[in-house]
Structure 1
Amino acid sequence: MADLDAEDERTEEFTTLKSIYPELVTDDANPYDATLPLLVAPSKPLPITFEPGQEVERLAYLPPLRLEIVLPSEYPADAPPTVKLSTSPSWLPDNIQRLLTDEARSLWEEYGGGMMLFTFISSLQEQAETAFGLDELTLPSTMRAELVDYSRRMKKELFDKETFDCQVCLEPKKGSACYRMARCSHVFCIACLQDYYNNCIKEGDVNNVKCMSTECGQTGTKGKKKDRLLSPKELLQIPLARDQVNRYAKIKRKKKLESDPSMVFCPRTWCQGAMRTDKYPKITDVSQMDDSDSEAEDDPPQQPSADADAGPEKRGIGLRGMDRLQVCEDCNLAFCAICLASWHGDFVRCEPRDATQLTEEDQASLNFILKNTSPCPYCSVPCQKSFGCNHMTCAQCKSHFCYLCGAWLNPDHPYAHFNDPKRKTCFQRLMDGAEGDMANGNIQFAGRRGAEQVAEFWEQEALRLQMQEFDEDTR
């Protein structure tokens, strides 16, 4: 009779456990033998050092703890359950496995011969959340690939099963249709991310290829939020098309090259490639470009420096000897960084090329820029307005300035500039030319661009007077 009662209790306990843990599997040959895999997901990713390479990985998920249970015929009244713990691969230290195994007998004794498996399993789950008390772990490097792959796979499987509200379209979406940002963990649906990032890359606005959450960003040097751009590797994971990611990486590199005063470009008009440099390596495989390639630009200063109008420094000045030798990364031309001629040797003295040596095409481009754009007062990038008011924000350095006179504007009170009667050239002219430069509006500028307008007016006026005199003489 006692044996029948024990069988009933063992059957009842396993039946109860199966209703709570559907993963519990009993042995068909022996109904009182069972196995249960337990998820190991530490609340804080566990740092693991893989020897001998000393590579450190912080893993959010570890291979499950396999619990094997055998209920003897004397259980629960006269004998504890037999439990065995293991992991595959064997990442859990042996001393911790022994402590966990001994805990089963201690619980059985504490319960005075009662059913205690649920309490034991709950205890294992709680300890799994703290990685069983481990602050760090050292394992052989042969386990690295398997553990890292498991953590990534499990993270994606659990993410795909959840439901999230996209922060852009505000619609609930399954995790399989969403993407979690790697650095900040904000979640958006893939369709919204692809639409936004593809449009940014198409328009060349790569400085906005960042997390779209208004809460995202790091605090910069002046208390402002500093956004971090996405790496090409992460854009491929969203996923974006490789040709789009290639364009993104190339535009980012081009902006860095052009803003660096130390860079020199190939003098061949049909090439114009940058000089070879380890500072900005040429892009070969975007899938291998890590996060260090996508650090955001430093916060722009609140006001331009005293010599902001002095113009860019002359590139190559100060180089001597073989330091003047540069090689184009595209056409492999060896040239001098000072005079931009083909390399003439170490002992030849040369002078910088001046503005009179511009090609006809370069001079035409320069004339168009001077006539049709207003430069940023801080970084000198030429800006042209397509529509809107005359309060401009530089796409390169984010400085605020007036499109009419080129003056720097206080970001906290940018419109005070247009309400100041002392500024006669800009007073109450915030919306002048709201339809943009291409609308052919007759807008009077100040500053450098205004001087270009005045010069062009008197040049045309002088030509008109000459033609008038010529007509009078021929009558």
Structure 2
Amino acid sequence: MADIAPDDERIEELNTLQAIYPEFTFEISNPLTAHIELLVAPVKPLPVTFEPEQQVERLPYLPPLHLDITLPPDYPANAPPSVKLTTTPSWLPEHVLDRLVEEVRAKWKEYGGMAVLFNYIDYLQEAAAMAFGLTEVSLPTSEKSDLLEYSSRMKREIFDKESFDCGICLEPKKGSACYRLERCSHVFCRACLQDFYNNCIREGDVDNVKCLAPGCGKTGNPAVDRRKKDRLLSPKELLQIPLSLDTVRRFANIKRKKKIEADSSIAFCPRSWCQGAMRTQKYPKITDVSQMDESDCEDDEPAELPVSTPAPEGPERRPAGVNGMDRLAVCEDCNLAFCRVCLASWHGDFVRCEPRNESQLTEEDQASLNFISKNTSPCPDCAVPCQKSFGCNHMICFQCKTHFCYLCAAWLNPDHPYQHFNDPKIKACFQRLFEMVEGDQPEGRFGGRRGAELEADFWEQEALRIQMEEEPEDAH
């Protein structure tokens, strides 16, 4: 190698390539031999089928293409460069590697015996971006874990080196301080996501544990977007942000609890010290949140209750659709077997159920029911009790986002919610949009179920008053 002149054009070409590609390296024993690894990141993730299980994974990053270059003495005038292409593990088919190697000779001929290495490397990079023309690759399952681990590591390393403007605090942040949401790819800094999601979960507002980008998941069609339910982040993704395990566990349990409570087919344990839900395959108990990677979507809705029949609250709630042969329920917490209809201990399929006595309610339960009936208006869709603290009587349910009237609990058209208050035919609510604007007033004039209960309570108190006034005369 001592015969190589310092001004040899082969050495000059390799030095130029090293200046362009910092990862370009020379072999110490032979300065005319060089190596470079080319990133393989297809524009569209390449489907890889792992056999024999036929599991398909779409990988955004694949193991790099190793390019070994050796320049012969008569290069470039009379001979092309000698190149060798490999991947570790060997995921590229041999016929693809052979085609790529042949391309260097074709380019050398095309350039008429001139230096072609830069053009050839550029060609390989463009081919890598197009997955070398492949639409899919089949590999043995034994290589699955290595490829998945590599793809995940490269995705993280490249993301960490970039810079992003956080969509919440609007400050530029390095990728290492940010998190890209899996489904929509919106990027926010981890600190902002942790603050927001921790606060939502602490307050029980799990329906806002979603992407915080305005308009994310929206189609632009108001009629369609109103029917779509925002997709929540999965517990597994929350752990990656990361949120603490206890916080994510609380998120998963609250989400499950809300689904159960909104489902009229679910009965609850009659034991006052338990009150657990019945066992059901529809809502399995949570065991390991780190494996829960599903997200709520518009098709994942709990069973809806009829608009005209709000769900009763408290221990007296009755499951819908229960026939005589499916009354047996088992509490998922204390394992009590009980009847879903009368809530008594299980008495067999052929025993007639007796209505549950009101006296079974504790004083605390009865007081809660009395307060709810007198001081809240139920959502006409999910029957959740709602109490207004201030504002007009056009309400939007905190849980299901249904628009309704606070005075009569009637459903309102989201496109024209105020038409209800401007219709003279609806006398109970006509021109009463801003009544009780400073907050709920139990003595207010209500319609619907709440109005009927308040009226019944008024006449009951009035009857008691009259009775008290008449008692002295009867005694005399």
Structure-1-length-normalised TM-score: 0.91
Q: How does 1:181-192 map to 2 (within 5 A)?
A: 181-192=181-192
Counterpart of 1:315 in structure 2 is 319
In 2, Cα distance between equivalents of 1:387 and 1:201: 24
Matched residue type, 1:419: N
SS in 2 for 1:294: coil
SS at match of 2:391: coil
* Partner SS for 2:438: coil
Q: What is the match of residue 157 of structure 1?
A: 157
Q: Distance in 2 between matches of 1:169 and 1:315?
A: 46
> How is 1:420-459 mapped onto 2 (pairs within 5 angstroms)?
420-437=423-440, 442-459=443-460
Moved more, 381-390 or 326-335: 381-390
Matched residue SS, 1:38: strand
Deviation of 1:318 after TM superposition, in Å, equals: 4.2
Relative to 1, partners in 2 of residues 1:107 and 1:258: Cα closer, same or farther, differing over 3 Å?
same
Amino acid at match of 2:338: F
Q: Which residue of 2 aligns with 1:121?
A: 121
Q: Is contact 1:316–1:337 with CA below 8 Å preserved after alignment?
A: no
Distance apart, 1:463 and its partner CA = 3.4
In the alignment, the residues of structure 1 paired with residue 97 and residue 181 of structure 2 have an alpha-carbon distance, to the nearest angstrom, of 36
Q: What is aligned with 1:282? A: 285
Specify whether residues 174 and 251 from structure 1 end up closer, same or farther in structure 2 by C-alpha distance, changes over 3 A only: same
What do residues 165-208 of structure 1 show as CA deviations (whole Å, max 9, x unaligned)? 11222211111111111001111111221222122212212122
Cα offset for 1:466? 3.9
Unpaired segments ≥5 residues, structure 1: none
The equivalent of 2:99 in structure 1 is 99
Aligned to 2:170: 170
- Aligned CA distance change for structure 1 residues 300 and 262 (closer, same or farther; 3 Å): closer
Q: Distance in 2 between matches of 1:203 and 1:71?
A: 68
2:389, 2:439 within 8 Å by CA — same for their partners in 1? yes
Shift of residue 258, structure 1, vs aligned partner: 1.4
Alignment of 1:42-191 (within 5 A): 42-191=42-191
Does the residue aligned with 1:76 lie in a helix, a strand or coil? coil
What is the CA–CA distance in structure 2 between the aligned matches of 1:445 and 1:337, rounded to whole Å?
A: 34
Alpha-carbon shift at residue 271 of structure 1 (Å)? 0.5
TM (normalized to structure 2)?
A: 0.90
Distance 1:281 1:299 in 2: 16
CA separation of 1:218/1:310 partners in 2, compared to 1, >3 Å: closer, same or farther?
same
For 2:414 and 2:161, how far apart are their aligned partners in 1? Answer: 44
Asked whether the 8 Å contact 2:25–2:35 carries over to 1, the reply is yes
> Hey, what does 1:392 align to over in structure 2?
395
Letter in 1 for 2:464: L
Q: 1:177 to 1:249 in 2, by over 3 A?
A: same
Per-residue deviation, 1:276: 1.2
Partner of residue 271 from structure 1, selected from 258, 270, 274 = 274
1:251 aligned partner:
254
For 1:258 and 1:270, locate their aligned partners in 2 and report how far apart those are by CA, in whole Å. Answer: 18
Q: CA deviation at 1:296?
A: 4.2
CA contact (8 A) 2:69 2:83 kept: yes
| Equivalent position SS for 2:38 | strand
Q: How big is the shift at 1:244?
A: 1.3
1:5 is displaced (CA, Å) by: 7.0
Query: For 2:442 and 2:375, how far apart are their aligned partners in 1?
Result: 12
Query: How far apart are 1:359 and its partner, in Å?
Result: 1.2
Secondary structure in 1 matching 2:29: coil
Q: CA deviation at 1:264?
A: 1.6
Q: Which amino acid aligns with 1:181?
A: L
Q: Distance in 2 between matches of 1:86 and 1:268?
A: 68
In the alignment, structure 2 segments of 5+ residues that lack a partner are 312-316
User: Partner of 2:308: helix, strand, or coil?
Assistant: helix
CA displacement at 1:48 relative to structure 2: 0.3
Aligned to 1:359: 361
In 2, Cα distance between equivalents of 1:441 and 1:380? 19
Aligned residues of 2:380 and 2:409 also touching (Cα < 8 A): yes
Q: Cα gap change, 1:453/1:339 in structure 2, threshold over 3 Å: closer, same or farther?
A: closer
User: Relative to structure 1, is the Cα distance of residues 318 and 444 closer, same or farther in structure 2, using a 3 angstrom cutoff?
Assistant: closer
Letter aligned with residue 351 of structure 2: R
Q: Distance in 2 between matches of 1:412 and 1:316?
A: 32
The separation in 2 between residues aligned to 1:221 and 1:350, in whole angstroms, is 51
Please identify, of 416-425 and 256-265, the stretch whose mean Cα deviation from structure 2 is larger. 416-425
Secondary structure at 1:193's aligned position in 2? helix
- Which secondary structure does the structure 1 equivalent of 2:30 belong to? coil
CA distance in 2: counterparts of 1:94 and 1:378, whole angstroms: 61
User: How many residue pairs were aligned?
Assistant: 465
Q: Which whole-Å CA distance do the structure 2 matches of 1:267 and 1:154 have between them?
A: 54
Which residue in the other structure is 2:374 paired with? 371
Match of 2:341 among 333, 338, 341: 338
